[in-house]
Homo-oligomer: A and B are copies of this chain.
Amino acid sequence: MQVSSHSSFTAVIIGGNGAGLSAASKIKRLRPSARVLVFEKGPHVSYANCGIPFWLAGDVPQNNLILLSPETLQQKRGIDVFPRHEVIAIDRRAGAVQVRHCETLREFKVAYDRLLIATGARPRLPDWAIAEAENVFTLRDLQSGQALKQALSGSLNRIAVLGGGYLGLEMAMVFRRRGLETVVLEQAARILPGFHEAISAHVQAYLERQGVTVITGLQPGEPRYQGPRLQSVRLSPEGRNIQADGFFMATGIVPNVELAQTAGLQLGSSGAIAVDDTLRTSDPRIFAAGDCIEVRHRMTDEPVWLPFGPAANKQGRIAGANMAGERQRYAGALGTSAVTIGELEVARTGLTLPEAQRRFNPVEHVFVQTQDIAGYMPGEKQATVVLIFRKRDGRLLGAEMAGFHGIGKRIDVLATALQAGLDVRQLAELDLSYTPTIAPVWDPILIAANAAVKKLSV
């Protein structure tokens, strides 16, 4: 299919954040004469949603979170941005979208030559939760952040965080730093259930040292409301009631695929939108990028849903290039991710132990607990490193870390090793940097790699 190159070429983008705006900018760079229209359901575009916890903690002023205003996007990049405009339908045959203004409810149709779906993801609440209750909070955008900010400056004293994943634990420490009595409820047997148990234990010990209560292995339910306020949940099977002034729901997210699904576009096995490696959907004129799509896992070649910010931005740029007529490939993802919980950094890359066992059995793993900087330096410094590798040849399959100094970026060494297909013997031979502020003489990665090599040779 040849993209017409006269000036009437129109790209429509649904979603005005990382993936959508990366695509829009790329299209305008490659085809300055193109019309690029971005429709965003919410009131804000181009905001730093990963920065919201730091705004809530008081580290960052709200203004800093708005990266580019619609005016700037128009003036500097020639992108037409429409906040509070929801795309409610895609008419694939006509090559047009139906748009509704969120306040006036006025509707109109816009024709596209190329369409990008960058609708992102949204929080998934448990069945029993009433999202509208005035003290039930989520965090996905500036609006939900604003509600929480308001509550934090009010009379909130005790908060229950439902969900012991990245967001729940990151926010638990924000609440704690704001002086709230904070309890984390994770229904799995341990927090960060996707991680090795040594990481979960490291993080839980840290949270408890910081005064956060952690309750695992019990399922919250049976809510008790008083008027518009949730008062407590009951933990089963134990039966204890957890009372709180506020309930923060960090019980996972789901991709926003309804629009694509209604338009008859193919979804993948993960439930997210299926795309090929040029990020094209099952309709050749429609692309998709960001938290609403599934991608190829580089270790298994299987489609997976890995909704992380850097991937969304990279995908947006590639989708934009392809919408503008180039042909760029998205190489897939390793699932590299990181979070800062108070002062503690937690990160992972590649396959988890169960994922590795499913695909590469027999699989070995090691975990070591060591210092992340020179032992004589001041400051907390315990690090936990987990390496997961194939028994046959030592090929690295995944890695996880928790610690205080440089852990979040140290995982990138292992992400690089995964992409290059290194084995643990090669890891043990890495020439890594050293100075007392950043590492011990034997970097935690080398200590873990040496332990892995030993395990291979028995």
Chain B residues within an 8 Å CB radius of A433: 336-338, 347, 349, 408-409, 411-412, 415
Let me know if A435 and B338 touch, CB within 8 A: yes
Asked if A236 is an interface residue, CB under 8 A from chain B, the answer is no
Chain B residues within an 8 Å CB radius of A225: none
Assess A434 versus B65: contact at CB under 8 Å? Given A18-B441, A60-B377: no
CB nearest neighbor in B for A450: B317
Most chain B CB within 10 A, of A59, A298, A338, A436, is at A436
Chain B residues within an 8 Å CB radius of A406: 406, 408-409
Asked if A128 is an interface residue, CB under 8 A from chain B, the answer is no
| Complexed CA–CA distance, A59 and B345 (Å) | 23
Contacting A435 at CB < 8 Å: which of B339, B431, B432, B443?
B339
Most chain B CB within 10 A, of A48, A310, A347, is at A310
Asked if A366 is an interface residue, CB under 8 A from chain B, the answer is no
Assess A376 versus B434: contact at CB under 8 Å? Given A18-B441, A409-B406: no
Let me know if B309 and A434 touch, CB within 8 A: yes
- Contacts A60-B377, A337-B434, A345-B438 known; list 6 others, CB within 8 Å: A48-B376, A50-B441, A60-B378, A308-B434, A339-B435, A419-B431
Chain B residues within an 8 Å CB radius of A347: 433
**B interface footprint on A396-428 (CB within 8 Å = 1, 0 otherwise):** 000000000010111111011101111000100
| Complexed CA–CA distance, A335 and B51 (Å) | 36
| Complexed CA–CA distance, A406 and B408 (Å) | 9
**B interface footprint on A375-401 (CB within 8 Å = 1, 0 otherwise):** 111100000000000000000000000
Q: How many residues of A contact B (CB 8 A)?
A: 64
| Complexed CA–CA distance, A439 and B412 (Å) | 11
Let me know if B431 and A50 touch, CB within 8 A: no
Asked if A360 is an interface residue, CB under 8 A from chain B, the answer is no
Let me know if B431 and A335 touch, CB within 8 A: yes
Asked if A137 is an interface residue, CB under 8 A from chain B, the answer is no
Asked if A371 is an interface residue, CB under 8 A from chain B, the answer is no
Asked if A333 is an interface residue, CB under 8 A from chain B, the answer is yes
| Complexed CA–CA distance, A55 and B426 (Å) | 35
Which A residues from 88 to 135 make CB contacts under 8 A with B?
none
Asked if A442 is an interface residue, CB under 8 A from chain B, the answer is yes
Chain B residues within an 8 Å CB radius of A301: none
Let me know if B48 and A438 touch, CB within 8 A: no
Assess A374 versus B420: contact at CB under 8 Å? Given A433-B412, A438-B340: no
Chain B residues within an 8 Å CB radius of A310: 431-432, 434, 441-443, 446
Asked if A429 is an interface residue, CB under 8 A from chain B, the answer is yes
**B interface footprint on A48-64 (CB within 8 Å = 1, 0 otherwise):** 10110010000110001
CB nearest neighbor in B for A312: B441
Nearest CB on B from A72, distance (A): 15
13 contacts across the A-B interface (CB closer than 8 A) = A48-B436, A51-B376, A54-B376, A59-B377, A60-B377, A337-B434, A339-B435, A408-B437, A410-B412, A416-B417, A416-B422, A419-B429, A420-B426
| Complexed CA–CA distance, A438 and B435 (Å) | 19
Nearest 8 pairs of A and B residues by beta carbon: A420-B420, A64-B376, A408-B438, A338-B433, A406-B409, A334-B431, A340-B437, A416-B416
